[in-house]
Every structure is written in structure tokens, then in C-alpha cells.
Amino acid sequence: MPAPDSNMPPEGDAHAYDRVSHGYAPDGRPITPPPMPLEKIVGDVVHDLSATAKAELALLEARGELALHGVSWTAGWGAVAASTAGIAMLALAFGAILVLIPHLGPLLATLIVVGVLLAIAAFAGWRARVAYGDIRTALRRDLINEEADD
């Protein structure tokens, strides 16, 4: 007697593989459910739109709160940084004047330090104006007509 093949179904289950689903229900085509009433479909759509709108508003509110939190902490730490940088610039200016006084005299040393600081301030102001132009461009409503702003 030959050895039984493990891939072959037992004799009693010869039609067991006929019930395997290949994308269809095993016992034939399913019975189609009755169509949904139009009122139910419209009600579901309105409910889904309402839920979506509420979720979007909640998201906008959360984003606004996060932005406010970030702006407040940025402003606070920015003020600390600006104050510290200002004090450091004053110390540097006084130190530069004190170093230059023995070589050039007090008036010329002061004028040189003030001139250098005004040049740095002019450069920083020019860069701030360029950055402000970028902000105005980003917030402009009509990005297609990129004309110079007032």
C-alpha cells in the first residue's frame, strides 16, 4: 500500500476545498442587504461633516494655544538674550575705549568705537529689513503678482 500523501484531502472530504473562498462567500453569493434610505445617508453625511468641522475648530484652537505658548516663551527668553547682549556690547564698547585711550586719546577712541557700533547697527538694521520683506511676502494674499510692496 502506498504511503498517504499529506497534500491530498482525506477521502470523506473530497469536496471540502470547494468551500474555500476566493473572494466570494463560501456558500455562494451573499444576499444583498436592502438599500439604505436616502434620509439615513444624508443624515450620516451631515453628522460626519459636523464632526469634521468641530474637529477642525478644535485643531485650530489647539494650534493657536501652542503658538501663543511658544510666542510668550520666545519673547521672554528673547528679552533676556537681548538684555544680556546689550550689556555685553556696552562692556565691549567701554573696554575698547579704555584700550584705545592710551594710543589715540579719549575723544578719538570714543569716536572710533561709536563709528564701529553704528556700522554694526546699520548692518543689523539692513538684515532686519530684508527679513521683514520675507515676512511680508509670505503673508501676502496674492503671491502670483509679486510686485514690490509699499
Instruction: Spell out the alpha helix ranges (H) of 5-37.
Output: none
pLDDT for res 144? 66
pLDDT for res 54? 93
Please report where in the chains the cell 445617508 appears, as a residue. Answer: 41
pLDDT for res 115? 93
pLDDT for res 18? 54
Give the cell for residue 148: 514690490
pLDDT for res 104? 92
- d(CA 8, CA 3) in angstroms, rounded, equals 11
pLDDT for res 3? 58
pLDDT for res 30? 62
pLDDT for res 102? 93
φ, ψ of residue 24 in degrees (nearest 5): -120, 165
pLDDT for res 111? 93
Length of the chain in residues, anyone? Answer: 150
Q: Is the dihedral of CA 47, 48, 54, 57 positive or negative?
A: negative
pLDDT for res 94? 94
Statement: the pTM of the whole predicted model exceeds 0.75: no
Task: Note whether 117 and 89 are within 8 A (CB).
Answer: yes
pLDDT less than 70: residues of the chain: 1-30, 138, 141-150
Contacts of 117 (CB under 8 A, 6+ apart): 89, 93
Task: Note whether 122 and 113 are within 8 A (CB).
Answer: no
